[in-house]
Structure formats: structure tokens, C-alpha cells
Structure 1
């Protein structure tokens, strides 16, 4: 299947909008023993939470936030280990379970900003683009389609090309695509993808406009 892609803008960000809600901040403030029922503005709640977080030991603060976001998938021992590892490693890029990368990024960046850089800084890539299917190509644009197309416009050092060659070549199912791309949003005829800079960095893109021919894995 063939697609034509035109990239409008590539942005590198260290935060994702709307990652944390008012309810999130209020619950975290309770867990940090810093609750304030009189505050309902998200900016003020965030400032209060940063104060509460920075009053704690860094690994202790990390464990509290990790427990809030990931206690349903990680046990106490895993959370404890991550709370220390996050201080020295980019866990949101290195953790073996790709499906947790987005949440770990959101947690990492909250802690990074609350502690004024004590945690490693990680970044995300946002790409605004158009994609046009050729005749007979699938018109329902999925994360797999987008990722396979974009991989053909990334230089040879790109980690997706190195780690997922069989999936890109349709020799294996590409189930990881749904977790590598965090968000795929459609806005009229345009799309926006959000992923980790680890998987796609701005300087890895080759052309602003390109065509890609892709295939899909089929069970024998």
C-alpha cells in the first residue's frame, strides 16, 4: 500500500498538555499530606504539589507518584526500584515494557520540574502532517500505518529501524506500534502524532515530503 506524506511541523517538548487533571493534583496532594480543599485552580494546585513534592526525599516522592499512576500494573518492589532508578536513568525510554513509556514520561517530567532538574530530562516529539492514501490503500489511518510510513523517512540510526526491522518489513505483527506512538489525533485532513524523542527525534527526519510503500503481516 502506498501513501504520500507531507510534514508541516516537528516539535520537541518536555511536557504534554493535559497530562494531569485537577483531580490528579488533588489526590496527589492528599498522598503527600498537603491537601488544600480551598484551591480549585489547576495552576495553583500544580504549584502546591511542586512544593509538597520538593519537601520530600526525591526517591520517596517518586515512589508516591509511581504508586498513584502505576500500582495496578507494578508491585511494591518494582515501584521501589524504579523510584531510585529514575534519579539516574531515563526510565521512560529504557523500561522494557513499552506500554508504560508514556506514563513514565509523564511522571518523570512532573518530578523533573518539581525538583528543578534533579531527575533526568526526557522529551517527546510531536509531528503535524498530512497523509494521503494512494488508490486501493487503506484509508483508515492507524498508528501502524503511520509508523511504517515514517520509518522510511528516518535515518539509519533510528531506534525503531534497529529494533523493529521484522515488524516494519511485515515479517511479524507490529503490535508495539500502538505504544510507540502515544497519541494519533486527526484534525480535518491533518494528523498529529506524539511519541518519545527516543523513538523519533527531530534531527532524524530526512524529508518534509515523501512517499512510502508498506505491507502488513499476514498469518500463514
Structure 2
């Protein structure tokens, strides 16, 4: 059942990297893939990161991309990684790759590789923003407890024009009962406050999906949760 909300866009800013997307452990694993993991014990975080970036820069562009993708995407075959690593420079795979569940990983890959090569790779375009959601009945807010990402993508879709790409590509999921791709559209999403009939959410996504919301102050929206699978 569709429930109605008032949505107000709060802070809204463009980003080209996700905070804390890369950890010391990530850098160590990248160095290991490159066969350069000896003698790294005791190296502080800044030195380790600099060493990793320099090591990537020593490689050919597509080889460096292959290293990063091998670390990020264990679900991709070696052949697929070879293909995609050669496509990265000319493409914007955080927007264009067919499986949106991999878009966040590609976004972070581009951010790292662009820095390592002082450009070359396209600059990833993301957004970090907050929304305040107000319901007419407290029970309506439970959809965000039941399926947070799916409910929020449906909610935000109400603020976009009917011909927006999100509507064209995911019409069935937006109106239907299951939206497994939602976590690939909203990469990070959390509830940051709750008061009465209102909740505030903070999220990170691609400018590709929700950049148009930068020009929106508020809108009326409908949304619903995914239906639970009774066979689970």
C-alpha cells in the first residue's frame, strides 16, 4: 500500500570520493596483489597509502585498473576484469555498468585511480545529501524499518520528473513489490534523527540518479516497502 509523505531536501553537495572508502587493509591487499607486500609492517597509514599509490602509478593504466578491480570485485571473472579494466579510461562505469550493485565499487575505483594517475580516469560524480521525511501517521514510517533502501528510492523517485532515467529503467521495481537493485542506487543510507512524525536520513548516491534534486526544496511523495518473502 502506498503511503504519503512530505519530503524536504536538506544539505546537498557533490562529491568525487566516498569518505573512508579505502582502509589500510585495502591498501595492504592491493600491495599483496601487486606482489609488493614485504616489509610493510610498522609503516604508518599515510606512508602505506603513498606507497600503494606510487606502486599503482608505476603500472600501465589498464594494469593498475585490473589490480584495483581484482581487489574490489571477487564476483567478476578474470576475463571480465580484463575486459572492464581496458574500458575504464573511456567509460564512466559507476554510471554505465549494467549491474548497478557494482556502481559504488566502480565509483571508489575511479576515485583511487584518478588520484594515482593525476587524472587520466574520469572524475566520479556523486552526491551526499539529507532529506527530512514527514508522515501523517507514525505507522507510515515503518516502511523504512521494513526495507530502508527500497522505500527511500521509491520516495525520492517522486521528486524526479516522470521521464527521469530512474523511472525509465526501474519502473517495475518502483511500482512493484521487490527492489533488489535499490542498494546499488543508494550506496549509503542511514537514519540520523527521529522526532515525532519526522525522520531525517543521510545518504550517498550517484549524481547520475539524483543530481536533479539539487534544484528541489520539497515535494509530496508516495512510497511503499518491499513485500517480505514468505518462503524465507
TM-score for the superposition, normalised by structure 1: 0.88
- Counterpart Cα distance in 1 of 2:71 and 2:95: 20
1:77 Cα offset (Å): 0.5
Number of matched pairs? 216
Runs of 5+ consecutive residues of structure 1 not aligned to the other structure: none
Determine the structure 1 residue equivalent to 2:117: 115
Does the aligned pair in 2 maintain the 1:6–1:208 contact within 8 Å? yes
1:206 Cα offset (Å): 4.6
Among 179, 183, 188, the residue aligned to 1:183: 188
1:110 Cα offset (Å): 0.7
Please say if 1:81 is aligned against 2:83. yes
DSSP 3-state at the match of 2:131: strand
- Counterpart Cα distance in 1 of 2:9 and 2:91: 32
Does the aligned pair in 2 maintain the 1:54–1:114 contact within 8 Å? yes
Does the aligned pair in 1 maintain the 2:40–2:48 contact within 8 Å? no
Change (3 A) 1:54 1:39: farther
Among 40, 52, 56, the residue aligned to 1:53: 56
Within 5 Å, which residues of 2 pair with 1:1-220? Answer: 1-35=3-37, 36-70=39-73, 72-135=74-137, 136-141=139-144, 142-156=148-162, 158-168=164-174, 170-171=175-176, 173-189=178-194, 190-201=200-211, 203-215=212-224
Runs of 4+ deviating beyond 6 Å: none
Runs of 5+ consecutive residues of structure 2 not aligned to the other structure: 195-199
- Counterpart Cα distance in 2 of 1:104 and 1:159: 19
Q: CA RMSD in A?
A: 2.1
- Counterpart Cα distance in 2 of 1:217 and 1:26: 39
1:174 Cα offset (Å): 2.2
| Superimposed CA distance per residue, residues 41-93 of structure 1 (whole angstroms, 9 cap, x where no aligned partner) | 323222211111111100011111111121x2111110000110001101121
1:215 Cα offset (Å): 4.4
Q: When you count helix as a share of all residues, which structure comes out higher?
A: 2
Does the aligned pair in 2 maintain the 1:5–1:210 contact within 8 Å? yes
1:209 Cα offset (Å): 2.0
1:38 Cα offset (Å): 4.8
TM-score for the superposition, normalised by structure 2: 0.84
